[in-house]
Structure 1
Amino acid sequence: MSRSRPLVLLLVLLAALLPAAPASAAPGAPFTNPLKHVKGADPWIVHHDGDYHLIATSFTGELQMRRSPTLAGLATAPSVRVWSDATPSRGTNMWAPELHSFDGRWYLYYSAGAVGEPCCDSQRTHVLESVGSDPMGPYRYKSMLTGRELGVNGWLIDASVLRLNGRIYLLGSSFINGGPQSLVIAPMSDPYTVSGPFRLLSSPTHDWEKQGGVVNEGPEVLQRGGRTFLFYSASACWGPDYKLGRLTYTGGDPLNASSWRKEPNPVFQRNDAAGVYGPGHNGFFTSPDGTEDWIVYHANDAASDGCDNGRTTRAQKVTWRADGTPDLGTPVALGTRLPGPSGETAATPTAHTLTNRNSGKCLDVVGGTGDGADVVQATCTGAATQRWRFTDLGDDTSRLTNVGTGRVLDVADCGTADGTNVRQWSWLNNACQRFRPEVGDQGGWVRLANPHSGKVLDVADCGTADRADVRLWSWLNNPCQQWRPNPVA
């Protein structure tokens, strides 16, 4: 008997007693980029309660969010207005919205300028607080976050939150001490209050941070294994060389620039071979099972494209090197089929039903497949005529196409009066066929507003029977005017 045999038997016995290593979850539903093909700049994704939530820059006075049980489904999910603000000091040119959760509520950070002022001169950071625990809202305005020590009397964009050593800090991009556009940091006493002066964190020092413009912006945090990494966007957003750099926290006071080490080279940049230009202003999110880290970012598909709504939202998986540092890889070409995040269990939605809050019935088409067929409510059966596809039209409105008929939701004769009938019609690309889902005062329920008339979809006389007519009516904030988009595969 070999002397090594008892040792081998002992090791086998110990291995049998140890718990088995957890099996890796299967990849999620396959997807292709882009996840948002219009208004896809400065994207932010969180996964919460079984759904991904995507929000991005609007360049208008409202913010819209998409929700889907799979990453792939974000590409066709309804764009729902979660915030609109006509306040003169904070109501236009909204950029870089981000969602962060504290103590059961969501805080939505964004930058916006004053109505009537030239673009960008008055950009400040604002924060909203959710009324409940739903990332879709509703939200209420909480505060403006700025500091006199910042240049241009408080100009501050691209706000994000750092949680480190039991404290929270506000990150952003501004001008300080007369220098170039740089990363700044300030302590916070709560999610909506800056409790100390902003301090310089990183300025453009390398040549690759100065291509087309001398810029550091879009700070974003990624943490793993007790380590903290801070990614940021460098160079001009209006050029193809917009890219990502990285800082690594080395210990000490996070407010001190000396506590961070800057990488000498960019970590994510243009990929001409794949037709990806200006990849930047990213966010990070985790897979549904919590085992994977993912990056979401925007990019252009031509070197001549600029810093506008032509940028599209894209995502891909982050890997980790043996030394514990993240590897963002290389931005992949649009249309590349990628496995989705691990832990997804739902099927990717292909359309949505719209359930009325008062009756529990679904928005339906009766009377045929042709122009003029009436839109009513009916018992939800899953029929094709109860399925609607939302198409983002890029102007904060959507086209609703009926799966069963191929026609779109339409206001009869472009009427604007209360009681005007709603029907289906061939797509004419006019304002009467555009609708906007808007969050009301109850999470999960929306009103379907027609911007042309200013009216909303309403069930006639709050009827609950099948074939009760659906019409336009002034907003009364009652359950008969509220609908829930339900994804269906």
Structure 2
Amino acid sequence: MSRDHDLPEVLGRRLLLRGAVAAGALTAASAVPGVAHAAVPAAPPKAAPYVNPLVQQRADPHIHRHTDGHYYFTATAPEYDRIILRRSRTLNGLSTADESVIWRARETGDMGAHIWAPELHRIGGKWYIYFAAAPAEDVWRIRIWVLENSHPNPFKGTWVEKGQVKTAWETFSLDATTFTHRGTRYLCWAQHEPGMDNNTALFLSEMANPWTLTGPQIRLTTPEYDWECIGYKVNEGPYALKRNGRIFLTYSASATDHHYCVGMLTADADSDLMDPATWSKSPTPVFTTNDTTKQYGPGHNCFTVAEDGRTDVLVYHARQYKDIVGDPLNDPNRHTRIQKLGWNPDGTPNFGIPVADTAADTTAGTVKGSV
């Protein structure tokens, strides 16, 4: 993997001109780190059809679009033993981009097993990765951990282990994501609450710094509907999208087989996010398995924007088959996928259905598919 990962010292003229046209969009996107934003409408060229699967055998995907003009990709590797990173100037380019291992699990002790669901965030001029891990000797004692890199290029510098994110309980916890709203940084994550009859619920807390919660932590949602409780009672994998005067918080539910699906919470942007009553929960899943397109167990999503700077893109993983032999966690074929996110007339997101795999057109040397 001998790619030169140096970031450009000066932005290219073309990128600067494009940035001038969409300056308002870039300003809005950088104002709220960790939350996907759409940009000010422009007149971009039509994007190429998305390639799906985008990245094979990479689950729990996270794509960060940075101000340097690159998309940065990380995800869970099926061996659960490392954190990987790719980058490209286009979303489709992530499919063939060189992949670097930026951190490996320890051989013993904490952070030695079940390296799950990394997310890459740029906060205060530094890079941070949130991920789940367990001790090598106690592989289900999973907790949330943080890495920090002060180098402007996340492929360079040193990733420093900042330690465990300490929550109210020492219980199974994972899938941390962070976002800011009105100058306050929040962490949202999944955890088992002592005394509750579930596997995980979702919690929210304000943060003192990128690895420390201020408390209190509030419970946003717990598995209650039938579609959230198939195989396991799970709410996990949260991610925030701010738009149309609201904050939409997606999450995943049920076991990680074909029952896995996406639910959604909604809060008014003017409300107190630390008041549980602020958040309303959709009674049905917003994104589910589809037999027609042959996509099973779509979930653990995030959001980014297309190269035009304004089109919202849904990022998620899914399998291409329904039947799994043994534990779904041992099946490596959860692939990263992307598709355009639509919007309803009432300002709520329209997820549609997971699109079918793209088909290679060998005669034309192109890829056919739907954006």
Q: Does 1:103 align with 2:124?
A: yes
Structure 2 partner of 1:154: 171
Structure 1 partner of 2:265: 247
SS in structure 2 of the partner of residue 183 of structure 1: strand
| Alpha-carbon separation, structure 1, partners of 2:271 and 2:162 | 31
Taking the TM superposition and a 5 Å limit, the aligned residue runs for 1:64-213 are 64-86=84-106, 88-117=109-138, 119=139, 121-138=140-157, 139-147=159-167, 149-150=168-169, 153-179=170-196, 180=198, 181-213=200-232
1:60 Cα deviation (Å)?
3.0
SS in structure 2 of the partner of residue 280 of structure 1: strand
Among 335, 349, 357, the residue aligned to 1:326? 349
1:212 Cα deviation (Å)?
1.9
| Alpha-carbon separation, structure 1, partners of 2:180 and 2:235 | 21
1:135 Cα deviation (Å)?
3.5
Taking the TM superposition and a 5 Å limit, the aligned residue runs for 1:405-484 are none
Q: 1:314 to 1:281 in 2, by over 3 A?
A: same
| Alpha-carbon separation, structure 1, partners of 2:141 and 2:216 | 19
1:82 Cα deviation (Å)?
1.1
Q: Does 1:315 align with 2:338?
A: yes
1:146 Cα deviation (Å)?
2.5
Unaligned runs of 5+ in 2: 1-39, 360-367
Kindly name which structure, 1 or 2, has the bigger radius of gyration based on alpha carbons: 1
| Alpha-carbon separation, structure 1, partners of 2:113 and 2:132 | 9
1:198 Cα deviation (Å)?
2.7
Query: May I ask how many residue pairs the two structures share in their alignment?
Result: 313
SS in structure 2 of the partner of residue 43 of structure 1: strand
Q: 1:52 to 1:23 in 2, by over 3 A?
A: closer
1:338 Cα deviation (Å)?
3.7
1:328 Cα deviation (Å)?
1.3
* Conserved 8 A contact 2:47-2:307: no
* Conserved 8 A contact 2:253-2:263: yes
1:83-116 per-position Cα deviation (integer Å, ceiling 9, x unaligned): 1241611132210000111122111100001012
* Conserved 8 A contact 2:355-2:370: no
Among 290, 297, 300, the residue aligned to 1:278? 297
Structure 2 partner of 1:382: none
1:50 Cα deviation (Å)?
2.0
* Conserved 8 A contact 2:311-2:340: yes
Structure 2 partner of 1:383: none
1:218 Cα deviation (Å)?
0.5
**TM-score if structure 1 supplies the norm length?**
0.61
1:162 Cα deviation (Å)?
2.8
* Conserved 8 A contact 2:50-2:338: no
1:137 Cα deviation (Å)?
4.3
* Conserved 8 A contact 2:47-2:308: no
Unaligned runs of 5+ in 1: 1-20, 341-489
| Alpha-carbon separation, structure 1, partners of 2:175 and 2:235 | 10
Q: 1:83 to 1:268 in 2, by over 3 A?
A: same
Q: 1:243 to 1:157 in 2, by over 3 A?
A: same
Structure 1 partner of 2:313: 294
**TM-score if structure 2 supplies the norm length?**
0.80
| Alpha-carbon separation, structure 2, partners of 1:216 and 1:173 | 7
